[in-house]
Amino acid sequence: MRMRSNVWMAALVAAACLGSAGCWYQRPDIEDWYEDVKIGWEKQQVVDKLGRPTVMLENDMMYLYDDPENPIRLRFVLDEDEKVIEKYYESREELAKRLEEARRRVPPVELVPGEEPRGYPGAPMERFEKKPGEPGAR
C-alpha cells in the first residue's frame, strides 16, 4: 500500500512540474533585439547580441524564431567588410505573402502534347527520364 501511494505522489509532483513550466512561458522580446542591432554594426557585434545565426548565406545572416504565436525571421544583409547595410523583420504573414508572389512568378511546367501526367506531384516527367541503354542511364 505504501509503495502505491509513493507512485501516486511522484506522478502528482511530475504533473505539477510540467503544468507550471508551461504556464511560465514568456515570449522572448525579439522586437527589441531587432531594434538594438543598428546599420553599420559589424558581424561579430550582431553575433554577440543575438548568438549564431540560424542560416548564413553569403552576405545574409538569418535568425529564425519559431515562436508558437508568431514565428518570425530576422535578416541582416552584410557588405564586403561584414558590416550590416540592411536589416529586415519578417513575420509569418509577410513571408507567406512573399512565397505566394514567388509562386505566381514561376509558371508551371506544361505537358508536351502526347505526354501523360505523372502519378504524384513533383514526379519526374517522362521527357526528363533516361531510358535504359542511353548514356547516363543506370
- Domain definitions of the chain by residue range: 42-106
Q: Report pLDDT digits (tens) over 93-107.
A: 888 888 888 888 877
pLDDT at 100: 87
More reliable by pLDDT, 25 or 36: 36
The C-alpha R_g of the chain, in whole angstroms, comes to 26
Question: Do 59 and 78 touch, CB atoms closer than 8 A?
Answer: yes
Select from 79, 84, 75, 74 the least CA-distant residue to 45.
84
The structure's pTM equals: 0.55
Instruction: Flag whether pLDDT at 117 surpasses 80.
Output: no
Strand order in the sheet with 55-57: 55-57, 60-65, 72-78, 84-91
Amino acid type, 108 = P
Neighbour-count burial for 56-76, b at 16+ CB within 10 Å, e otherwise:
eeeeebebeeeeeeeebbbbb
pLDDT at 81: 92
Q: Report pLDDT digits (tens) over 4-30.
A: 777 788 778 877 776 666 566 566 678
